Amino acid sequence: MRRTRVLLFRSVFLLIIICLSLFYFLQSSFWSIQTIIVEGNHFLGETEVLELASMPLGLNIFKADVNQGEKNIILHPLVKNTKITREFPRTIRITVQERVPLVLVPYQDGFWQVDENRVILRYTSTITGISLPLVTGIELGEASPGEAISSPELARVLELARELPLELEGSIGEINVLDSGMICLFTTQGIEVYLGDGERLEEKVQLLTQVMAQENLELERIKYIDLSFHGPAVIKYRD
């Protein structure tokens, strides 16, 4: 009986020693974060992502609150989704999925960059160097980054912008919503394109792409292209 007690005591003592050793090992500098990798960011700076994550170098990797870090980062208007993972023993990887600006909407003395979900991303005072269509004819109230703009007209414009193929990207300078609700495009060559209402947008965009791809088309002489009704495109040349 006595021998059994001694063995039990030794086993418990050994277990305590192992647990304490493991505890102190997990608290040691061996697990201190030495590298933080940020990937997927194009518009958002790496420094800003790191500040939002609040995971400084030297922090014990087990004490890094990845859930809170993800919540902090996703609050930024430019961020659509994010994932933070531990890569043992000393690395944190932050993967960011950003919202992509699709159009520009005039606001006060500048412009809002807006994504496909009508979410305001950021304010810019100039459109120089930004190859995004400018949306006009839509009145905006007070708004701020991170908010979604409640506008049926803008929803139709964004549907149109999503339909634009690579061949037309950069060629559409302005998307204007008229008081009647009709939509008119202005190309960078100065051509007006009448799309009518928001119906059959995919079909109209395909037809416009075919027209613009025609060989020997004298773009500088075209005044407007009318796609507002069923049938072939009507091209009006300047006098």
Residue 53's pLDDT band, with cuts at 50, 70 and 90, is: very high
pLDDT, tens digit, 9 for 90 and up, residues 92-151:
999 999 999 999 999 988 999 999 999 999 999 998 888 899 999 988 878 889 999 988
Q: Evaluate if residue 161 carries a pLDDT over 70.
A: yes
What pTM, to 2 d.p., does this model score?
0.80
CATH number given to 103-237: 3.40.50.10960
What is the residue extent of each domain of the chain? 2-98, 103-237
In angstroms, the CA 56 to CA 100 distance is 28
The closest alpha carbon to 205, from 183, 221, 220, belongs to 183
Closest of 37, 35, 25, 83 to residue 59, by C-alpha? 35
Single-letter code of the amino acid located at 198: G
The confidence score (pLDDT) of residue 21 equals 67
User: What CATH code is assigned to 2-98?
Assistant: 3.10.20.310
The angle subtended at Cα 170 by Cα 167 and Cα 172, nearest 5°, is 95
Q: Does an H or E element contain 94, and which? A: strand 91-98
Within 13 A of 27's CA, how many CA atoms are on the CB side?
A: 6
Please identify which residue in the block is written with the tokens 């997927």: 40
